[in-house]
């Protein structure tokens, strides 16, 4: 149960919500609280349960058990139109026979707003999404990014208390996605509306969210801030799904120390082996951008690790260059470094020495 303070701060509360189809759980028993004014991303692979959560909030499907509270009120018996929601879809869902102005005005008209109110609110929405001057265009006369802006304007024009976005940028190219991500962040910041956003793109979730709920197999794999999921993953799945990771087989040797298959000893983040029995075989995670390339071998200190390997692959990707090293005793290490001219680069087959802080070595439990 939520106390009075939690209730006032919580806009959406999943309490033991479960959804099954034919005896199979699409969503296992789940508890989530979405704070008032928060940007929460539901992230995960296909079939992980994220769209099921969104559709339960929207009222498109009924859960098999549990309670759904919106602003402290149980809404499972209320239709979508009475839940104070706005929705933005991946396929825009615009009315093709209406122009931009009338598409945006549509939700106001069905709510009985006056012409003067419609004119003021549509004008404000158009300004927010940068479409002033496009009022008379039909959807077919606009680009995908412009159509999605119309969809966002139509959603925010009636000031819903909650906005749901179902992979709204999935059909757009990368440059346009990046641009609209910035615009969605600004709209959320300006309006202060509670926003729940479904995506399978981990970079998108990291960029946009106050918190991320990472789903896997109908369960919450981890729920926290973007930096918590990135730097403090609770499982191998989280470490592997959120960003690029080095996941090396290791054995816990002592407090804050593990060994690799080669016998190399690594110092790890203080406290991350606290509840792990010495001798346990597990994995240690190091993010590739935390690894520094050195000109010669580095003697390990109390707060850093160093290894040497042979360069097996070099990938130039603009601002960063990726090096794949083969380590002694087996295993590979991915290293990311700021790009310089290719003529200055280490060649494939040459040795490379690298080092990183012990605080950047996280043992997965």
Could you give the domains of the chain? Answer: 4-236 (3.40.50.300), 244-364 (2.40.50.100)
pLDDT (tens digit per residue) in 271-282: 888 888 999 999
Three-state DSSP class for 239? helix
- Min mean pLDDT across 3-17, 165-179, 184-198 is at 3-17
Decide: 203 and 174 in contact? Cβ < 8 Å.
no
Decide: 291 and 355 in contact? Cβ < 8 Å.
yes
Task: Write down the H helix ranges in the chain.
Answer: 4-9, 50-58, 100-109, 115-129, 144-156, 174-191, 202-208, 226-231, 236-241
Q: Does the pLDDT of residue 204 top 60, yes or no?
A: yes
Compute the distance between CA of residue 280 and CA of residue 254 in angstroms, rounded to an integer: 10
- Give, in degrees to the nearest 5, the angle at Cα 325 between 319 and 326: 165
pLDDT (tens digit per residue) in 243-262: 999 999 999 998 889 999 88
How confident is the model at residue 262, as a pLDDT?
81
Q: Does the pLDDT of residue 287 top 80, yes or no?
A: yes
- Min mean pLDDT across 4-18, 140-154, 208-222, 293-307 is at 293-307
How confident is the model at residue 297, as a pLDDT?
52
How confident is the model at residue 343, as a pLDDT?
44
Decide: 68 and 239 in contact? Cβ < 8 Å.
no
Residues 222-232 have a mean pLDDT of 95
Decide: 66 and 17 in contact? Cβ < 8 Å.
yes
Selection from 5, 6, 60 nearest residue 32 by Cα: 6
How many CB atoms are closer than 10 A to CB 318? 6
- Min mean pLDDT across 16-20, 138-142, 272-276 is at 272-276
For 116, what's the count of Cα atoms within 13 Å in the CB-facing half-sphere?
A: 0
pLDDT (tens digit per residue) in 79-124: 988 998 999 988 878 999 999 999 999 999 999 999 999 999 999 9
How confident is the model at residue 172, as a pLDDT?
81
How confident is the model at residue 342, as a pLDDT?
52
User: DSSP letters along 259-294, please?
Assistant: EETT--EEE--TTTTTTS-TT-EEEEEE-GGG-EEE
Q: What is the largest CA-CA distance in the chain?
A: 76
Local confidence band at 36 (pLDDT 50, 70, 90 cut-offs): very high
Please give the mean pLDDT across all residues of the chain.
Answer: 90
Q: Which residues contact 254 (CB under 8 A, 6 or more apart)?
A: 273, 278
Q: Does the pLDDT of residue 302 top 70, yes or no?
A: no
Selection from 106, 207, 112 nearest residue 150 by Cα: 106
In the structure encoding, which two tokens stand for residue 277, read together?
Answer: 């029995």
Q: How far apart are the first and last CA of the chain?
A: 29
Q: Does the pLDDT of residue 344 top 60, yes or no?
A: no
Residues 300-315 have a mean pLDDT of 83
Selection from 217, 243, 203 nearest residue 41 by Cα: 203
Q: Does the pLDDT of residue 296 top 70, yes or no?
A: no
Q: Does the pLDDT of residue 298 top 60, yes or no?
A: no
């Amino acid at each position: 149960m939520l106390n009075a303070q939690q209730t006032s701060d919580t806009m959406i509360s999943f309490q033991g919500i479960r959804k099954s189809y034919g005896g199979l759980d699409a969503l296992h028993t789940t508890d989530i609280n979405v704070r008032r004014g928060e940007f929460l991303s539901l992230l995960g692979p296909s079939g992980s349960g994220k769209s099921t959560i969104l559709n339960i909030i929207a009222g498109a499907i009924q859960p098999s058990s549990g309670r759904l509270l919106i602003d402290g009120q149980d809404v499972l018996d209320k239709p979508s139109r009475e839940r104070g929601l706005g929705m933005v879809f991946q396929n825009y869902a615009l009315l093709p026979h209406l122009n931009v102005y009338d598409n945006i005005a549509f939700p106001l008209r069905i709510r009985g707003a006056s012409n003067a109110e419609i004119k003021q609110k549509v004008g404000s929405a158009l300004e927010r999404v940068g479409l002033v001057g496009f009022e008379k265009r039909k959807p077919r006369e606009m680009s995908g990014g412009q159509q999605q802006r119309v969809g966002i304007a139509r959603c925010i024009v009636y000031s819903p208390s909650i906005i749901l976005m179902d992979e709204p940028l999935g059909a757009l190219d990368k440059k346009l996605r990046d641009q609209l991500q910035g615009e969605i962040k600004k709209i959320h910041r300006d309006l202060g509306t509670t926003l729940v956003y479904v995506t399978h793109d981990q970079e998108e979730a990291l960029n946009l969210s106050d918190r991320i709920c990472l789903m896997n197999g109908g369960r919450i794999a981890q729920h926290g801030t973007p930096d918590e999921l990135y730097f403090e993953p609770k499982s191998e799945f989280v470490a592997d799904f959120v960003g690029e990771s080095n996941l090396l087989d290791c054995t816990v040797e002592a407090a804050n120390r593990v060994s690799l298959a080669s016998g190399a000893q690594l110092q790890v983040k203080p406290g991350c082996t606290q509840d792990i029995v010495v001798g346990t075989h597990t994995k240690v995670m190091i993010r590739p951008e935390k690894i520094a390339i050195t000109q010669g071998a580095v003697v390990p200190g109390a707060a850093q690790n160093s290894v040497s390997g042979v360069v097996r692959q070099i990938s130039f990707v603009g601002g960063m260059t990726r090096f794949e090293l083969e380590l002694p005793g087996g295993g590979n290490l991915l290293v990311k470094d700021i790009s310089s001219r290719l003529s200055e680069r280490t060649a494939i087959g040459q040795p490379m020495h690298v080092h990183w802080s012990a605080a950047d070595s996280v043992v997965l439990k």
